[in-house]
Structure 1
């Protein structure tokens, strides 16, 4: 057991009392990270039309959906240090304000360049929110309670994604400016954060004679944590191919509408949330390495179904496997890294998690699109399935080696 989950007596540390308000606030914060990209996507055609006279409008309009991710990748490695200096609650509130200001700026800024600058501010806000909120969960909860909260955070993001997939398109149909106002939710959540989250969190006690900072100072990032970060990045590379490629398959190959492709992705997102809600129970069935192996095996099965799918109905069946994999993978990796992190460095480790997650999303189309260009969409799904199966086997063997060691 990690020293971060022990008291000086060697018994499991109790969950710090915080009440339903504290837990609900941390869960709701999980909806903000999924909002970063999903909210504005339906507005892109309207934005392109509104700024049709701008040079390189096609590129700049599409960059609205990716600029925040690049900002997150660049800032997230520093976010942990910023959070540790500011304090987790202050950093979370600062991130929410940046989220609200940067995200909503598209509703009133006059040109594409300034809107892209606002998206960069949004990315910085997401980095602070994700880093500080995950670290707060680690500080305030232990054991099964922590696992339950991390699962609920993942589920909240997934369920929020479903609402945004359905609602964002409706709002964009009214006026593309209105979509950006949804980001003001970040500023609304400042109120419960001020009311329910503690300003200071008592340090977690460690066993006598042990130095909680020793792992970070002597060995750098421990090998198991690197394994978890690698799984986070690879999982996002695999997962992000669904929203990037499935709409083209549904509309161009199967002849269905964009509404159908959005509904398919919404089904996958909703089921991911349902699986994540059961993470505390799932975690009791297997260890970290085994769960990662099973998650990637489910992803491999899902992509195999997508590769073989002759119609939309079979595509939906493949999404259930994908949801099982991602719904267990995300909270497992968050819990794994934060359980192994030295207590005073949890924010820094949470920053590593944020970097791995969004780096995987950012490079996913860079990796898969050349394969799509060479082979086509469904053969690319077969390649991803094979890669996920290899990753599954590697983590299974890694878990057996760790158990023997």
Structure 2
């Protein structure tokens, strides 16, 4: 791919769209109490407004991936942006719980198509080092979105609980830009006879032939489980240190996102000098240091390195996972197998509080980070075993 101006515009549309997949839930995080009050619902029901789209992403992503393999990524990607605007922006005018929950389901379907569409567009529009750079920038855009969109949501939430829903409408002009700038890539290649079997039997046949795919999904699942251990439980750790204001807590989480954005932005330069396995090993080492540090942090200052170290590692793991899928997925089925990555990631986010939550009453919130440090250590051991074979 050349560096022509129109191609650079295409990349910017893709990267801007990548921030939307993070924004889907993050922009409403700061206004959950306002949503609860505005709708007159319980805290758990207000939380469903934030999480429902994630369940739809897990369920719909494989469908989106299969469609992308059939018709190419351009049209499903644009369709996803339009659904995103409709489902997300509906909150501006919907003021009752049931219809709002339904609109969040529509949003989740849109995110599924956008998320997998972005992945396959990068695979097909870029090659070699340019693809590595685009994947790194995509992860960097996600991290920057995780910093910016919650701040936007919090600011608009001071106007009304419905105002932040208007930001979802940014997907509409992005969809129009995509129509003008995203080229039709067509359908690449064809799978081998063994890899082309349909249904569950075909998927299992691919996994038998390419077992590395399962390792990538497990890595991405685990990374998201650990990410949400920070998102959900680090504020509790900070509260124990006397840091309770929402602004102060948001600064720690912003530091995590910014650190991930920095490491992801230089991912392509790092991959020129070393291997993906080495980068993932470095990330696991950073996570071990991060979570071990969280278990002993005793002040506002000593709590900073843990979130920074975790973010730096995340910025190395995410683009590595996407690049491995591009290398391992059968030709002509990149949409299908990259969609499983999306499902694995959002499942990890959903299960994180389920896996770590029971540890809090038993060992306190620091026990969560002790368990996370153990998981990082096990990851290092598993990677060493795999590399040693």
TM-score clears 0.5: yes
Deviations 1:129-153 (A, max 9, x none): 0111101100111111001001111
Which shifted more, 82-91 or 58-67?
82-91
Task: Kindly indicate whether the alpha-carbon contact (under 8 Å) linking 2:71 and 2:187 is maintained by their aligned counterparts in 1.
Answer: no
1:67 correspondence with 2:55: no
Deviations 1:252-290 (A, max 9, x none): 442431211111000110111011000111222332333
CA positional deviation for 1:16:
9.5
Task: Kindly indicate whether the alpha-carbon contact (under 8 Å) linking 2:294 and 2:369 is maintained by their aligned counterparts in 1.
Answer: yes
Q: Tell me how far apart the structure 2 counterparts of residues 60 and 94 of structure 1 sit (CA, whole Å).
A: 29
Q: Tell me how far apart the structure 1 counterparts of residues 195 and 388 of structure 2 sit (CA, whole Å).
A: 23
**Alignment partner, residue 300 of structure 1:** 288
CA positional deviation for 1:200:
3.1
CA positional deviation for 1:311:
1.2
CA positional deviation for 1:400:
2.9
**Alignment partner, residue 199 of structure 1:** 184
Question: Which structure 2 residue ranges, 5 or more long, are not aligned?
Answer: none
Question: Which structure 1 residue ranges, 5 or more long, are not aligned?
Answer: 1-13
CA distance 1:224–1:77, change in 2 (3 Å):
same
Q: Tell me how far apart the structure 2 counterparts of residues 394 and 33 of structure 1 sit (CA, whole Å).
A: 30
Task: Kindly indicate whether the alpha-carbon contact (under 8 Å) linking 1:15 and 1:145 is maintained by their aligned counterparts in 2.
Answer: no
The two structures have a TM-score, normalised by structure 2, of 0.93
The two structures have a TM-score, normalised by structure 1, of 0.89
**Alignment partner, residue 326 of structure 2:** 338
Deviations 1:292-351 (A, max 9, x none): 222122111111111110012111111121011100000010011112222311111111
Task: Kindly indicate whether the alpha-carbon contact (under 8 Å) linking 1:103 and 1:122 is maintained by their aligned counterparts in 2.
Answer: yes
Which shifted more, 177-186 or 248-257?
248-257
Q: Tell me how far apart the structure 2 counterparts of residues 71 and 225 of structure 1 sit (CA, whole Å).
A: 23
Task: Kindly indicate whether the alpha-carbon contact (under 8 Å) linking 1:29 and 1:153 is maintained by their aligned counterparts in 2.
Answer: no
CA positional deviation for 1:59:
1.6
**Alignment partner, residue 357 of structure 1:** 345
CA distance 1:289–1:262, change in 2 (3 Å):
same
**Alignment partner, residue 15 of structure 2:** 27
**Alignment partner, residue 163 of structure 2:** 178
Task: Kindly indicate whether the alpha-carbon contact (under 8 Å) linking 1:21 and 1:192 is maintained by their aligned counterparts in 2.
Answer: no
**Alignment partner, residue 158 of structure 1:** 143
Task: Kindly indicate whether the alpha-carbon contact (under 8 Å) linking 2:152 and 2:164 is maintained by their aligned counterparts in 1.
Answer: no
Q: Tell me how far apart the structure 2 counterparts of residues 212 and 182 of structure 1 sit (CA, whole Å).
A: 44
Task: Kindly indicate whether the alpha-carbon contact (under 8 Å) linking 1:279 and 1:331 is maintained by their aligned counterparts in 2.
Answer: yes
Alignment equivalent of 1:261, drawn from 249, 265, 277: 249
Alignment equivalent of 1:388, drawn from 376, 380, 383: 376
- Length, aligned pairs only: 380
Which shifted more, 315-324 or 391-400?
391-400
**Alignment partner, residue 24 of structure 2:** 36
Across the aligned residues of Structure 1 and Structure 2, the Cα RMSD in angstroms comes to 1.9
